[in-house]
């Protein structure tokens, strides 16, 4: 049996991605996104459905850009993919 957890990632820093508050003297609180995350957000808005951010996939999780402009991470108890 698989366990599934949905974790919204809005406002959370992704590994290797600097938030605007850390790198922007204006102190803006919106996160900076990688080009793939930005593309996925744009595509999700166009399609009206979630789009996977493949660079964020691990053996036990995957991240989706949602049409609303946020992210959702699906986390599994066991490996689903092999790298």
Q: What is the pLDDT of residues 16-55, one digit of tens each?
A: 444 444 444 555 556 688 999 999 999 999 999 999 999 9
Whether the per-residue pLDDT at 58 is higher than 70: the answer is yes
Query: How far is C-alpha 79 from the geometric centre of its chain's CA atoms?
Result: 19
Least confident of 3-7, 10-14, 41-45, 71-75: 10-14
**pTM recorded for the entire structure:** 0.63
Mean pLDDT of 46-70: 97
The DSSP code for 18 is -
Mean pLDDT of 6-13: 49
User: What are the beta bridge partners of residue 75?
Assistant: 5, 61
Q: Give me the pLDDT at residue 21, please.
A: 43
What number of helices (H) and strands (E) belong to the chain?
2, 4
């Amino acid at each position: 049996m698989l366990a599934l957890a949905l974790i919204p990632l809005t406002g959370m820093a992704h590994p290797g991605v600097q938030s605007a508050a850390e790198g922007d003297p204006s102190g803006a609180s919106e996160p900076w996104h990688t080009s793939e995350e930005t593309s996925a957000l744009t595509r999700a808005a166009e399609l009206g459905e979630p789009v996977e951010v493949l660079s964020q996939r691990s053996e036990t999780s995957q991240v989706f850009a949602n049409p609303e402009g946020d992210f959702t991470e699906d986390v599994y108890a066991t490996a689903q993919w092999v790298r």
